[in-house]
Amino acid sequence: MRRMILAGMAALLLSGGHALADNFPSHSITIVVPFSAGGPSDALARIMAERMQRTLGQTLLIENVTGAGGSLGVGRVVRAAPDGYTIGFGHLGTHVANGAIYKLGYDLVTDLEPVVMLPSNPMIIVSRNTVPAKTLPELLAWLKAKPTPPTAGTAGAGSGSHIAGLYFENVSGIKLQYVPYRGTAPALTDLVAGQIDIIVDQTSNSIGQVRAGTIRAYAVTAEKRVETASDIPTTDEAGLSGFHMTLWSGFWVPKGTPKDIVAKLNGAAVEAMADPAVQQKFRDLGLDMPPKDQLTPEALGTWQKAEIAKWWPMIKAANVRVE
């Protein structure tokens, strides 16, 4: 019996894990989203999950594991079994910035395997409607003149909205007081209610409220206007020239996940992003598809490392450290 088990294990090793991948997935898969339900990461992951389950033939569940700028949710993925049944959603904040801000207890590059790059989003500068400014120069003047520091909602230290806030402080010289939430969905609710002054938010999160007239938009941090919101000027046009930021995103799995399982997940995600109906949903949210030649796991790994080299100096210079 013992010999049979050993022989079986050897066969499995020799096949490079094919036996595992052949019937993968045989039950539901969980996507860990490290921010609140209803927010931009959640929305993107749900669009992907809905389409990927058609290819994979199993249900893809979303689990929102929130807190500490998404670093708790990523930790959950790092510690999960490397069998393809736990996928982590992440972005520039969770998979780059957090490494410079938190004592994570895991390594963002060596403890995870990249799966695929997902759509990206420019940021948008938005304020509560009761702010008496209509243009970006008016907003900057109002923020500067404010007797108490202007409040900026974020999804926690290291989140996209926080890095964007730091970048905004850098280019405008205005000091912000950050109000952290477990995602920008609850931050946006408070902005609509007039509880905070601004968010430098992902366009996909704020665009619905901007269209509904419940908050005010000043500029998008992109070089070109966003197709679905072409009346909103770019930062270059509106007076904060050079303030460009794109919040890219991706899927990762725990380190040690068999290569052919990673390839199956990658294939399902690539197929989802090639579907015109999915592309339309992303376009409506102001999301840009990743370049076609950047859809391999290796490309995401290379990109993540390049982004670490680019962003860590600025984040470390801002001296944001959460122990």
Cα 27 to its chain centre, rounded Å, is: 26
The reply on whether position 184 binds ligand ASP by CB under 6 A is yes
The reply on whether position 39 binds ligand ASP by CB under 6 A is yes
x/- letters, 118..157, toward ligand ASP (CB under 6 A): -------------------------------------x--
- Quick check: 125 and 200 in contact, CB under 8 A? yes
- Quick check: 238 and 219 in contact, CB under 8 A? yes
The reply on whether position 40 binds ligand ASP by CB under 6 A is yes
CA 322 → CA 103, 117, 169, distances in Å? Answer: 7, 27, 19
DSSP code string of 245-266: -EEEEEEEEETT--HHHHHHHH
The least CB distance from residue 185 to ligand ASP, in Å, is 6
DSSP code string of 31-72: EEESS-TTSHHHHHHHHHHHHHHHHHSS-EEEEE---GGGHH
Near ligand ASP by CB under 6 A, which window of 6-14, 109-117, 179-187, 297-305? 179-187
The least CB distance from residue 154 to ligand ASP, in Å, is 6
CA 72 → CA 93, 164, 183, distances in Å? Answer: 13, 21, 13
The reply on whether position 35 binds ligand ASP by CB under 6 A is yes
Residue with tokens 């000027």: 233
- Quick check: 161 and 153 in contact, CB under 8 A? yes
For ligand ASP, which residue of 30, 161, 235, 304 counts as binding (CB under 6 A)?
161
Residue with tokens 């794109």: 246
Pick 24 or 35: Cβ nearer ligand ASP:
35
The reply on whether position 180 binds ligand ASP by CB under 6 A is no
Pick 25 or 42: Cβ nearer ligand ASP:
42
Near ligand ASP by CB under 6 A, which window of 158-166, 220-228, 286-294, 297-305? 158-166
The reply on whether position 209 binds ligand ASP by CB under 6 A is no
Pick 56 or 320: Cβ nearer ligand ASP:
320
**Cα–Cα dist 209/188, whole Å:** 9
Q: Enumerate residues 92-111 that contact ligand ASP by CB under 6 A.
A: 93
For ligand ASP, which residue of 30, 41, 71, 172 counts as binding (CB under 6 A)?
41
Pick 160 or 250: Cβ nearer ligand ASP:
160
Task: Identify residue 244 by its one-letter amino acid code.
Answer: H
The least CB distance from residue 18 to ligand ASP, in Å, is 36
Cα 306-308-312 angle, rounded to 5 deg: 135
- Residue of 288, 186, 306 lying closest to 247 (CA atoms): 288
The reply on whether position 286 binds ligand ASP by CB under 6 A is no
Near ligand ASP by CB under 6 A, which window of 73-81, 138-146, 178-186, 279-287? 178-186
Near ligand ASP by CB under 6 A, which window of 24-32, 52-60, 100-108, 180-188? 180-188
- Residue of 39, 32, 76, 84 lying closest to 58 (CA atoms): 84
How many C-beta atoms lie closer than 10 Å to residue 317's C-beta? 11
Q: Indicate the pairing of strand 215-220 with strand 151-154.
A: unpaired
Pick 42 or 113: Cβ nearer ligand ASP:
42
**Site residues (CB under 6 A) for ligand ASP?**
35-36, 39-42, 91, 93, 155, 159-161, 183-185
